[in-house]
Amino acid sequence: MTDPFIDLRSDTVTRPTPAMRRAMFEAEVGDDVYGEDPTVNRLEARAAEVCGKEAALFVPTGTMGNTIAVKCLTSHGQEVICDARGHLLNYELSMTAWFAGCLIRSIHTSGGILTWQQIEKEIRPLGPHAADTGLIELENTHNMAGGTVYPQDVLDDICHRAHQRGIRVHIDGARIFNAAAALNQPVSRICAHADTVMFCLSKALGAPAGSMLAGPRPVIDRARLYRKRLGGGMRQSGILAAAGLIALDEMPALLPRDHSNARFLAAGLAAIPGISVPPEPPQTNIVIFDVSATGRTGPEISQALKQRGVLLNAISPAAMRAVTHCDVSRAQCQTALETLAATLS
């Protein structure tokens, strides 16, 4: 079925590939709450291997993966440090407070990338006036900062120094495979020194649903209980895990094409009067651009583009976000640019 829209709203809109659909049809399944779904078990083992961790857990969503990680790595009443534009803080319905009973202490960063120097100033020891810091959460790649990637030495430095202070580190790696493609490093290298990592099968990797949380076996054993508490025990979820296995093994190789399309979009956007893009080309598959000099707001432009077959979200009155993925081609990126130019002219 061909889609009448060119959909640049997010990489969550990707549809399962024919190979995924075949694998789903043929998947061997069992009751995963009893640990008896062979396909889920294979996916969890493979995800653990890819992340270089002892164990992994299949969860329905990235939000649930982050929620459970924060719960497992903190004590009620602690603080969690993250970047001010982080998904954890802004788009997960305050689950850190609701489920783990922790407060987020956010830090303004350039490009979504925290450094130890910034973090150190915000770390609090437990005392009569302060709750202690239990966890640092790093988003790699960083969604709302435009798909930015942690320099590996910065990330490793944070992990080492945090551990010296008895503080844990969780990576929100919803798009960690994009980071791996940009750095030309395996995912296991990127998260080698973090305690846990969550990544999404359902975004740039194209699976219809599901995310993975990987970490030490005792943490993942507890995480499994929290998944059940949150209503995430999914029974014959091997149907979904089958697509996840294809996503893990076949889709990362395609990501450089999405990144090249994002750079192509950014260069094209920069040439449209009234639009400004960041000076650095996008590192991965997300382009955030400013439309304030067009005389139209982001939501107005979004609405006008929709009439012409292009879906593109505003993230504020002044800014829009385009996300490339496996279901948009270079030719469609070109059409989207021409449509945007025509809409604004």
Residues 7, 79, 172, 258: which binds ligand PLP (CB under 6 A)? 172
Residue 235 backbone class (left: φ over 0; alpha: ψ -120 to 50; beta: rest): left
Distance CA 264, CA 270 (A): 10
Strand order in the sheet with 319-323: 286-290, 319-323, 313-314
Least Å distance, CB 210 to ligand PLP, is: 8
List beta partners, residue 79.
Answer: 103, 133
Q: Looking at beta carbons, which residue is closest to ligand PLP?
A: 62
Assess 114 for contact with ligand PLP (CB under 6 A): no
Looking only at the bridges linking them, the beta strands covering 286-290 and 319-323 are antiparallel
Nearer Cβ to ligand PLP (139/195): 139
DSSP letter string, 183-197: HT--HHHHTTTSSEE
Least Å distance, CB 127 to ligand PLP, is: 32
Find the distance separating the first CA and the last CA of the chain, reported in whole Å.
Answer: 32
Cβ–Cβ < 8 Å for 20, 209: no
Token code pair at residue 70: 């924060």
Nearer Cβ to ligand PLP (32/172): 172
Nearer Cβ to ligand PLP (47/275): 47
Contact pattern from residue 50 through residue 89 relative to ligand PLP, giving x for each residue in contact according to CB under 6 A and a dash for the rest = -----------xxx--x--------------------x--
User: If binding means CB under 6 A, how many residues of this protein chain bind ligand PLP?
Assistant: 12
Token code pair at residue 267: 């260069």
Which residues in the 255-294 window bind ligand PLP by CB under 6 A?
Answer: none
The candidate with the shortest Cα–Cα distance to 92, out of 139, 134, 56, is: 139
Least Å distance, CB 273 to ligand PLP, is: 31
Residues 70, 72, 100, 200: which binds ligand PLP (CB under 6 A)? 200
Distance CA 43, CA 48 (A): 9
Assess 232 for contact with ligand PLP (CB under 6 A): no
Which residues in the 121-150 window bind ligand PLP by CB under 6 A?
Answer: 139, 143
Binding site for ligand PLP (CB under 6 A): 61-63, 66, 87, 139, 143, 172, 174, 200, 202, 211
